[in-house]
Amino acid sequence: MAEEIATVAVELQPHADEATELRGRASSAVLDTVAVALAAAREPSRSIAAEWARTSYRAGGGGASVWGDGDVLAPAGAAFVNGVAAHALDYDDVNLAVGGHPSALLVPALVAAGEAADADGTALLDAYMVGIHVSASVAAGLDLAAHYAKGWHATTTIGSIGAAAAVARLTGLTVEETCDAVCTAASIAAGSRENFGSMVKPLHVGVAAANVILACELAGAGFEARETALDGPLGFLVLHAADAPVQAAAASTALRKGLRTFATLNSVKKYPCCYQTHRALDAAVDLRRKFGTRVAAARRVVVTVDPGSDNSLIHADPTEPAQGRFSMQYTVAAALHDGRVGFDTFTEQALQRQEVRDLMARVAVEHEPIPPVGAEAFPEHYAVVHVECEDGQWLAGRADVARGDPEAPLAPRELMDKVSDCLRLADPAPDAEAVAAAVARLVAGEPVRALTGALGAARLR
């Protein structure tokens, strides 16, 4: 299987009639990732990671840039810091075929490797699509739900294999070298969901991005791995399948599909919190818009979702902002109270508001295979928010597809609004249109260094 992945990584190309469109989609993912990473400039996880990396990843030969502060580190160091930043706010995109957040790992690793190798933007965007493709194909080879339920952070377990394939392609490794890189990355991939709601969750991504660079650099220098590291009896698929059947044939079938199959499935987040809250938040925000403060004074709130669709939401009574991002109770209460969810929802002050905490205590979460209101059928997941008002009237809102999903994508202006909001958190705030233009020029083949040069202009004081 590893050799098949390596061959795909090196040789697969987008179809000529869709290359421009797919590269445009990939560039939007780069823009979204860069923006959410810059927004995390003041996050403790990013600050600590950056300070540590300055002494641990000093640049030797070819270096790569840490976005926003002008530091140049070894490529693995830049990928590490930018990876932590990209995932620190949990505002980065999601791809359900991958089972996690592909861009937070792919973009920092590819930009660091591409800058050091003086790669062009087109090559980076094509490698990004290959990374999505390989990750989704590996995910097809095991029971993704069982893998996740067992406690694995699929963003960095499965995602590390796709990212290694992507970086190997971008840096010009041969099929044999790419096979070694992929097998090395698979053997050191890790991440436990027990740490969701802590600084360690984004650390998973930063470490994975650095390890991907490490695996590819070692493979390029002749470091060898066993080619059975993925599908052997003690390999990645068996180890991570959580006792469910391994389906290597399904992975091979997925690998043979075109790049469009998985590269069009990214969901761009509308809210800076776990994606599993987003359908309920859409319903709650709509209720607040329609009925005003009546819903904020609810006697009781019942959120109903399909079983398994909220298994990342492990903090029913969050005590710190990072936990609040993984709390259905808190995010829904904040949405009903404020009519919105934004960066300021996840501050210590916002979390401790007594009126919100009182409302949060009245939010219950239930699980039903069939939605309690509306049609019985739903595409993949659903969320229903029931609110009992003070006068005893029940109001209901339902969302099956989150805003930002491929079936309900954010409009270009909405994405730019998100980018602008993110960049306002940098100091000084870089010009959002200038950053977007620099990313867009990747499609035309402008060097990756031109993008990192533009990001370096957003220096943090």
| Residue 364: pLDDT band with limits 50, 70, 90 | very high
Residue with tokens 């083949």: 445
Does the pLDDT of residue 357 top 50, yes or no?
yes
d(CA 301, CA 304) in angstroms, rounded, equals 10
What is the average pLDDT across 338-347? 96
49-58, 102-111, 161-170, 450-459: segment of lowest average pLDDT: 450-459
Query: Could you read off the pLDDT of 286-306 as tens digits, one per residue?
Result: 999 999 999 999 999 999 999
What is the average pLDDT across 171-187? 98
What is the average pLDDT across 243-247? 79
CB–CB of 187/226 below 8 Å?
Answer: no
pLDDT at position 105: 98
Does the pLDDT of residue 328 top 60, yes or no?
yes
pLDDT at position 69: 83
| Residue 411: pLDDT band with limits 50, 70, 90 | very high
Domains of the chain: 1-268+408-457 (1.10.4100.10), 275-399 (3.30.1330.120)
d(CA 231, CA 248) in angstroms, rounded, equals 7
pLDDT at position 242: 75
The whole-chain average pLDDT of the chain stands at: 94
The separation between CA 240 and the C-alpha centre of its own chain, rounded to angstroms, equals: 20
The token pair at 302 is: 């019942």
CB–CB of 103/236 below 8 Å?
Answer: no
pLDDT at position 358: 97
pLDDT at position 460: 42
Integer angstrom CA distances of residue 325 from 48, 162, 240, 331: 20, 26, 26, 7
State percent of the chain over pLDDT 90: 90
pLDDT at position 427: 66
Residue from 304, 320, 318 nearest 384 by CA: 304
Reply yes or no: is the peptide bond before residue 430 cis, omega within 30 of 0. no
Does the pLDDT of residue 437 top 50, yes or no?
yes
238-252, 345-359, 441-455: segment of lowest average pLDDT: 238-252
∠216-268-326 over CA atoms, to 5°? Answer: 90
Does the pLDDT of residue 238 top 50, yes or no?
yes
pLDDT at position 461: 35
pLDDT at position 241: 86
pLDDT at position 70: 81
What is the average pLDDT across 438-451? 95
